[in-house]
Amino acid sequence: MVRPLTTPEIEDKIIPLDEAVRKVDDGAHIFWGGFGYQRPPIAFASELVRQHKRNLTIYTCGSEVDVEIMAGAGAASRFEIAFVAIEALGLANNIRRRVVEGKVEVEDYSNLAMAMRFLGGALNVPFMPLRSLMGTDIVNKARYRGEKKLKVIDCPFTGEKICLVPSVQPDFSVVHVQRVDKKGNAQIDGIVGEDLEGSRCGKKLIVLAEELVGEEEIRYHPDQTKIPSLYVDHVVILPWASHPMQVLNYYDYDLEHLMTFHSLTRTEEGWQEYLEKYIMGVQDHYEYLDILGWEHLNKLRAKKPWGY
């Protein structure tokens, strides 16, 4: 695939969340941004569920609440990932249940393997080599990719064993960042996880951001622009998009809500209760925020200089 850059004539790429999500067809393949507790596009996951999307395949290193929402509600049925859990709290209960039920299939890789698959996709080469995975069941067992999961070969140059993983060029990349201008110049504070490679490997890139800033602000700190606008197809301005997780310099995780989420997902009934109250029972992301309450949310706002 040769990925066309976006046309420079488009000065304003901002669209609402529901319109961005409508562009994702059932069965689409999506690179999923954020890492662990940091910058996960959780509001995008909830909107995919509200729009009854089905049979999505999600590619990421490690995700937590968002993966639980998409697996639990049946929006995504396949995951090519390295890690899923709610760190510090415990196992990912929804994924755990759906895997046992056979409704969700996980193709297991490692974090570096997934990051290399995105790098390969972004570089437009078919595979990338790495020194992990060999000798283990990640090589020996495949869930659905079969021979196309990975390959261990003798290096044609040195003769040493090396593992090749197939590049990923999904239909969409979805990444949540701190700031963006209306053209799509996206600035990330703190770690990027695998989002540099991931944002450039998809056929279309949707950037969500906590805050809309002017072009002057972008050009004043150009070193913070981790995703230049020329890669970006759509921009969605979406404050608190990572709640109950965190966004550096904007807000901290909501441990109380996170613990409620994790304990409710222990049972199917509990998960259905959460799903109805916080996702299906609200019209959109803003009604979700209203339900959480602004007094509560304000307490989570990041304090300087800590950033959380």
Partner 1 sequence: MSAANYNKIEFLVACASRHVRDGENVFGGTGMPLLAALLAKETHAPRAILISEAGFIDARPKNVPLSVADSRYYYGCSASIGLIETLGFILQAGNIDVGFLGAAQIDEYGNINTTYIGPFEKPKVKLPGSGGGNDIASSAKRLILMMTHEKRKFVKKLDYFTSPGHLEGPGSRKKWNMVGGGPSVVITDMCQMDFDPKTLKIRLMSVHPGITVQDVLDNVMFDLIVPKQVPTTPEPTQEQIDIMHRLDPNGVYLGKGGE
* Residue 74 lies near partner 1 (rule: CB under 8 A): no
Tokens for 303, please give them: 């304090």
Taking CB under 8 A as the criterion, the residue among 191, 219, 256, 268 binding partner 1 is 191
- Full strand arrangement of the beta sheet holding 83-86: 62-63, 83-86, 90-91
Q: Are 194 and 35 in contact (CB under 8 A)?
A: yes
Q: Choose which of 33, 41, 62, 120 interacts with partner 1 (CB under 8 A).
A: 62
17 three-state secondary structure? helix
Q: Check binding of 135 to partner 1 (CB under 8 A).
A: yes
Burial 271-296 (b: 16+ CB within 10 A, else e): beebbeebbeebeebeebbeebeeee
**Structure tokens belonging to residue 273:** 């209760």
ω before 239 within 30° of 0 (cis)? no
Q: Which stretch binds partner 1 (CB under 8 A): 25-33, 176-184, 241-249, 269-277?
A: 241-249
Q: Work out how close the CB of 7 gets to partner 1 at its nearest, in angstroms, rounded to a whole number.
A: 29
Q: Looking at beta carbons only, is 75 or 115 nearer to partner 1? A: 115
Per-residue binding string, partner 1, 22-41, x by CB under 8 A, is -------------xxxx---
172 vs 99: CA distance, rounded Å: 24
Residue 297 touching partner 1 (CB under 8 A) = no
- With beta carbons less than 8 A apart as the criterion, state whether 289 and 240 touch: yes
Per-residue interface string for the shown chain with partner 1, residues 87-116, x marking contact by CB under 8 A: xx--xx--xx--xx-----x-xxxxxx-xx
Binding site for partner 1 (CB under 8 A): 35-38, 61-62, 81-85, 87-88, 91-92, 95-96, 99-100, 106, 108-113, 115-116, 119, 130-138, 140-141, 160-162, 190-197, 246, 248-249, 252-253, 255, 302, 305-308
